[in-house]
Amino acid sequence: MEKLSILRWPAFKRRRLGHWTRYIAGSVVTALLAAAFYFLALVTLDSVGRLPPPAFTNSLCADEKLAFFRDNPPQAPTALILGSSAAWRGIASEEIARRHPAAIPLNGSFCGLQVDETAFVADYLLRRYPSVQHVLLLLTQFDMTACSGISARVFDGTHVDDYLSGDGLTWTYYFTYFDPVSLVRNASFVKAARENTLPFYPLVFTAYGDGPQTTDMSRTLDRHRFDTIDPVCVSSLRRLVREIAASGRQLTVASLPLLQPETVRSDLIAAIHDHMVREIKTAISGTNAIFWDGERSAQVVASDFVDSVHLRWTGARRFTSQLVEATGFGAVK
């Protein structure tokens, strides 16, 4: 049977084919133009120092820390600090290195994490940096209030591995994690944060990955009120402790002191802290992990705090020095 050529199709079929051809061609051209415009916007932002890092976590401070690790690859760290922004801001790793000159600290804390998310980060960093001998898990009550029973994945480990290893062009991650709204918002202030001109949101790092707050200003931090410790967080803490213990590493768990506003009932805060301490002690029971109650033992004053959760850099140095002296954290075998 003779094949029917396009020219012998009915006219309405030829018109329909032409319509779809023009539609597809127009869509391709539009997509290419949009991609070119987006790339040009990225290049422009980069040229003026306003390009945020790729949105692996969709949290600027966490993504900026991943960018710091890419630009400053950690070299065989021996001591890893884990936690939320309280640990990122509140540990001065230079004090660890000063007390133990052979130690190579790495502050692997990310802002905004609950303890189940910290467990995810711990698993990733300990696999990436097997040289780690000591792990410090620094906790506050705020880190154990709202864990997820579904998924605590902070980022895609495969993508971040490639990014930190310098594989591939950085630009490609801006297309993989395309979020123009977040890009515009972050671009509006990331330059000032990097230059440490935002007193309560500096995106600066020490050589060890700490995030010092050097401002002389203070603020009242509006944190979500809570009156209990989340059982899901407790389960995540126990699992994290078991995994670190099973790896043969020395684990130190510590609590960070909090500056309590006068409007909060001190007896309620004390009860929640005691609950957290009981859960920590239960979690480390039967392991070689140690616990130091910084909330009750550290000598800090109100001027050491930027807000109720975060230490000023002078306070972080003082607190870290006391922690290292009390626990021996970071001593290289």
Residue 52 falls within a domain, yes or no? no
The number of distinct structural domains making up the chain is: 2
Contact present, 237 and 120 (Cβ < 8 Å): no
Examine the pLDDT at 173 and tell me if it is beyond 70. Answer: yes
Residue 143 falls within a domain, yes or no? yes
Residues 27 and 106 in one domain: no
For residue 65, what is the domain's CATH number? 3.40.50.1110
The per-residue pLDDT for 188 is 96
Quote the pTM value: 0.89
Q: What is the pLDDT of residues 64-92, one digit of tens each?
A: 999 999 999 999 999 999 999 999 999 99
If you search the block for the tokens 């932002």, which residue do you land on?
45
Examine the pLDDT at 16 and tell me if it is beyond 70. Answer: no
Q: What is the pLDDT of residues 33-59, one digit of tens each?
A: 666 788 898 999 999 999 999 999 999
In sequence order, the β-bridge partners of residue 134 are 79, 250
Residues 98 and 222 in one domain: yes
Q: What is the pLDDT of residues 300-319, one digit of tens each?
A: 999 999 999 999 999 999 99
Residues 251 and 176 in one domain: yes
The per-residue pLDDT for 98 is 97
Region of poorest pLDDT, from 14-23, 103-112, 137-146 = 14-23
Closest CA to 167 of 175, 155, 176, 158: 158
The per-residue pLDDT for 10 is 64
Between CA 147 and CA 312 the distance in angstroms is 27
Residues 214 and 255 in one domain: yes
* C-alpha torsion sign, points 282, 284, 287, 289: negative
Band of pLDDT at residue 125, cut at 50, 70 and 90: very high
Task: Provide the domain limits for residue 21.
Answer: 9-47
Between vectors from CA 117 to CA 142 and to CA 320, what angle results, nearest 5°? 60
E strands within the chain? 79-82, 105-107, 134-139, 250-255, 290-293
The per-residue pLDDT for 38 is 86
Residues 169 and 316 in one domain: yes
Residues 95 and 230 in one domain: yes
Residue 308 falls within a domain, yes or no? yes
Residues 75 and 166 in one domain: yes
Residues 21 and 85 in one domain: no
Residues 196 and 247 in one domain: yes
Closest CA to 111 of 207, 193, 28: 193
Residues 29 and 86 in one domain: no
Band of pLDDT at residue 4, cut at 50, 70 and 90: very low
Residue 200 falls within a domain, yes or no? yes
Q: What is the pLDDT of residues 183-227, one digit of tens each?
A: 999 999 999 999 999 999 999 999 999 999 999 999 987 655 566
Residues 39 and 120 in one domain: no
Q: What is the pLDDT of residues 236-288, one digit of tens each?
A: 999 999 999 999 999 999 999 998 765 555 777 888 899 999 999 999 999 99
Residue 1 falls within a domain, yes or no? no
Residue 53 falls within a domain, yes or no? no
Examine the pLDDT at 128 and tell me if it is beyond 50. Answer: yes
Residues 81 and 14 in one domain: no
Examine the pLDDT at 1 and tell me if it is beyond 60. Answer: no
The per-residue pLDDT for 61 is 96
Examine the pLDDT at 130 and tell me if it is beyond 80. Answer: yes
Residue 3 falls within a domain, yes or no? no
Chain mean pLDDT for the chain? 89
Residue 333 falls within a domain, yes or no? no
Examine the pLDDT at 120 and tell me if it is beyond 60. Answer: yes
The per-residue pLDDT for 12 is 54
The per-residue pLDDT for 133 is 97
